[in-house]
Structure 1
């Protein structure tokens, strides 16, 4: 009789059946650094000196760097960048789900759905905004949000959709009927504005209902939702900003963290797996506005969602968590200056040396002061305005100083309120179509959102006190981080320097096999 012999058989690598893609819109390395500096070094940090979830994810997995430029330009917008992540194909500026030639390219989300996997999109902006739109729709321009809303629902490719943007899903001149049915009752009790951006009578909510979506409009309705297919629209336009969220002023909305948790819990029920994209979209908006306090709060908001994903995925061998950005916004950074030079200090060492740095390298208390900002620059400007007119200098000083630990004076206010001829006037242009604009003294070609220039100027007025510099009101080409958590055999290929097109190809190949 032959003796049985034991053989060591190498275990097969586990198959990746789930991908959670986390996108910090506008989140360059500088923004990640802001969060981590606050978390670990701010004297009064809410993290109590512990690392951020982003840092923890990076340390548990591998890290790469990615360039994100369009097919034929240097600097990318969110639509093109998200399209390249979603398709693994080079795209053109402001395109949605298309290659540079304008051809529709199946996205990783659509391929996952075709394989029988569940799919989800979560954002704190609008569902129809550039980043979520690029994963589920195909349009020649990102501004076509009404068409994007309709295509998202009609295509049936997304199982869970949670964000803002109700205005693109309700018909022109929409009013609730006299006798409310179940859908209208949920909408009525949400208290949301019913001001539509559509130019037609199409009710995309009704289309969604007919296709089996459970529609929810506030936090309570989301938590009570029992369907595996959910359309949640929690604001007429964007959801609350980071400062509002940090102060628990949600106005009935779910947090980005809660939306992420609900999406994962729903999608994970599918034994075939899922693809989920979660966007912290207002990091970008704070960068556009050169608003450092709001930027910090947006990073904290996003980090909380990252933590929820990390807690769910960290011990799994069938899931990849990929955290990246579409681009960097604002050219943000702390810097040292010649203002408020440090005083000499006698050290308590053996020699009793006198220590006196030559420049102001920035006090750590700046981080706490940024966190203590009470309103975004946008909310401050709105509060200071009289009707539709710009505020007086006195009112602007009063409003900013009430809401910021960093103060402005009358001279600052007059600089913020100063105007000049718009050198880049273009009749009919969405942003540049006005002849008079706020006066930017340098880099004015790169402050293209003219209605936001006063916010940029508030940032400029406070920047010396904050030890902060901003180089632009738009995007930069700065390579962004890619932090990947999962089984070693799957994540090692994400280490290194590559492009978003290559990153998109990697994700698609791992999840779908092609």
Structure 2
């Protein structure tokens, strides 16, 4: 159509043109510009809805694990779906980039934590380590969620960790430290900024005396909260934030999958676990037996979309797959793969919701990479020679010098039946690892893993030493005795929890897996952006998380 219009216009000019060839050419160029301007569609540069999905700890290495499993695992669960992840569908439909994520600004550092990273994604400003919703100087700053609410949009936060955990908290709370979860719980509920809150973390919403006070237990039971959710409190007072949410702030409540799916409301607080929600391996198991009582990350995502999309002014929704990070801290590749699969399910739900729309921006990224994970080749289990039929072999056998890793590892990692923390619980239910024997460790690991260890490897898992970095009153470094690491021990900072990473060390050679740390790295993380081309193309670059936030705000029309 455009070419026809240009041809007709040019013909008209030629028919009426004077003998001056130069003047004729200039007239033709001007006509072409006007015709193209007339028929070219106006690019869409703003949206009504923004959906931000954060795979906590999901660096490029973790995405590689997911994609290798989906595309090449002999028994991949994606075999009936064309071996394509939802993440790769987003890549096909939109733009990809990378993002730096370290604490930005004058007081910047090299490596981030989730509180800082999420705050930078939420505010578009430099932030400091472990602070929630504050700039690098400690000032309260408005987040994209709060701006969206003030603009009349609906808002939501979804996570499979705790709703007061660092990543969701950074979008709707303002606290000097991420550990202030009781205060964060109060802010999430009483500010009126968040319409939908779905996650675990009930322990900071319930009274401190919940274990002994039968009256409080009855109140929660009458609200529909099961004992498994209210079993323990982390508050220091007797406030019942769940009851306040319902009676003072108008939230409907949900505490299990059935209650969530049956809910029909515009304002919902869902707390589905006392602390973190079920891990990806437990979720896989209950799916197989059709016995899940907690909603999945996908189901929480779908419910949030159903509720928020009722608002004609649009919405902002942040969805976190938070236990990818937890598995990375534990150096647990099997658990991590199952968390990536759980997150990709939620991505698939968002992709299905958005694929035929032109009013929504979807951004999928990570707050940081965790564990410095990777597959690697080794000198253990060297391959045997094979005879190949190719005419270039010239009679030589095919025999690589190193073990480059079999595809069967992908299935074995998927088939792990418990996390490394499950193994630790099996080794000693009280976590009294000073009293745990090598036999205890060996039996615990071999119970859950398709990779088996011997008694010598088990003994190494249990080795402990005096803490060279003892600090009195520190949450972790006040431990006198800690797991013994022969390398990079400074980067295993979580005291007894790091026996999980010792399990990872014991299994690593057989898995063709390496880990560099029990904390985070400064690696750039992937960015996927789907939506109108005029909005998403700017994400196809190397950027920083503060810029991602600024681009989302610009798409909403919030830029100053």
- Using structure 1 for the length normalisation, give the TM-score: 0.96
Taking a change above 3 Å as real, the CA distance of residues 304 and 178 of structure 1, as seen in their structure-2 partners, is closer
Q: Structure 2: how far apart are the matches of 1:511 and 1:218? A: 33
1:116 to 147, 152, 177: 152
Taking a change above 3 Å as real, the CA distance of residues 179 and 204 of structure 1, as seen in their structure-2 partners, is closer
What is the Cα-based RMSD across aligned positions, in Å? 1.6
Q: 1:195 aligns to what?
A: 232
Q: 1:218 aligns to what?
A: 256
Q: 1:491 aligns to what?
A: 536
Q: How does 1:280-299 map to 2 (within 5 A)?
A: 280-299=321-340
Q: 1:88 aligns to what?
A: 124
The answer to whether the 8 Å contact 1:242/1:297 transfers is yes
- Structure 1 runs not aligned, ≥5 long: 1-5
Q: How does 1:23-34 map to 2 (within 5 A)?
A: 23-34=54-65
> Greater helix share, 1 or 2?
2
1:47 to 75, 78, 83: 78
The answer to whether the 8 Å contact 2:206/2:230 transfers is no
Q: 1:184 aligns to what?
A: 221
Superposed displacement of residue 17, structure 1: 0.5
Q: Is it true that 1:509 corresponds to 2:554 in the alignment?
A: yes
The count of residues paired between Structure 1 and Structure 2 equals 508
Q: Structure 2: how far apart are the matches of 1:513 and 1:188? A: 39
The answer to whether the 8 Å contact 1:186/1:217 transfers is no
Taking a change above 3 Å as real, the CA distance of residues 169 and 188 of structure 1, as seen in their structure-2 partners, is closer
Deviations 1:13-57 (CA, angstroms, capped at 9, x unpaired): 444000110000000000000000000000011111511111111
Structure showing greater radius of gyration is 2
Q: 2:508 aligns to what?
A: 463
The answer to whether the 8 Å contact 1:170/1:194 transfers is no
Q: How does 1:95-174 map to 2 (within 5 A)?
A: 95-174=131-210
**Segments of 4+ in structure 1 off by > 6 A?**
none
Taking a change above 3 Å as real, the CA distance of residues 294 and 315 of structure 1, as seen in their structure-2 partners, is same
The answer to whether the 8 Å contact 1:112/1:512 transfers is no
Deviations 1:316-336 (CA, angstroms, capped at 9, x unpaired): 100011000000000000000
Q: How does 1:72-471 map to 2 (within 5 A)?
A: 72-174=108-210, 175-177=213-215, 184-189=221-226, 191-209=228-246, 210-248=248-286, 251-350=292-391, 351-390=394-433, 391-471=436-516
The answer to whether the 8 Å contact 2:207/2:235 transfers is yes
Superposed displacement of residue 386, structure 1: 5.0
Q: Structure 1: how far apart are the matches of 2:500 and 2:523? A: 23
SS at 1:441 equivalent: coil
The answer to whether the 8 Å contact 1:418/1:438 transfers is yes
The answer to whether the 8 Å contact 2:442/2:454 transfers is yes
Taking a change above 3 Å as real, the CA distance of residues 189 and 171 of structure 1, as seen in their structure-2 partners, is closer
